[in-house]
Amino acid sequence: MFNIVLLEPEIPHNAGAAGRLALATGSALHLVKPLGFSLDDKYVKRTGLDYWQEVDLHIWENFSELETAMAGKGMWFLSTKASQTPWEADFQPGDCLVFGKETKGLPEEMVKAAGGRALRIPMKPGGTRSLNLSTAVAIVLYEAVRRQAPGW
């Protein structure tokens, strides 16, 4: 249904939760290197991802490689520095929902270049600087799914 893209994810549990969300929604998970963890079987099992082999998983050497492969798909870039919210976005099936690494988010130049395709999840001012990566994925992914499959 959608493409979840984690750019340089650092924490295996967030990638695992995103994989579970991908399975639950019929979406694909794309991890863009470098990864802050190993995907070898032993490590994945240790993080509790015994369903990992069922995830429609794609690993990319860099973002340019993913962009080339996804040409023609809509790209939405999630950042606390964006002004538009997911509630205003015109999601289409197959769109890519791009999230940055846990410690830094997406590169500022990527967010600026995205213009109106940069989205932020609204939060109370002064409440927190950002949400957990897997929480952000869940919020945006399910808003996109809700729009494509009402009552699903």
CATH number (domain holding residue 115):
3.40.1280.10
Residue identified by tokens 């976005």 is: 89
For all residues of the chain together, what is the average pLDDT? 91
For residue 66, the model assigns a pLDDT of 98
* Mean pLDDT value across residues 1-16: 93
How many other CB atoms are found less than 10 A from the CB of residue 14? 22
> How confident is the model over 91-134, as pLDDT tens digits?
999 999 999 999 999 999 999 999 999 999 999 887 777 899 99
Token representation of residue 63: 């973002």
For residue 129, the model assigns a pLDDT of 77
> How confident is the model over 39-60, as pLDDT tens digits?
876 666 666 567 778 899 999 9
* Mean pLDDT value across residues 69-98: 96
If one counts the domains in the chain, the total is: 1
* Mean pLDDT value across residues 131-139: 95
Q: Per mean pLDDT, which range of 20-29, 43-52, 69-78, 81-90 is the poorest? A: 43-52
For residue 149, the model assigns a pLDDT of 76
* CA 152/CA 134 separation, integer angstroms: 21
Residue identified by tokens 């213009």 is: 115
For residue 48, the model assigns a pLDDT of 55
Q: Which amino acid is at 31?
A: L
* pTM exceeds 0.85: yes
- 56 lies in which domain range? 3-148
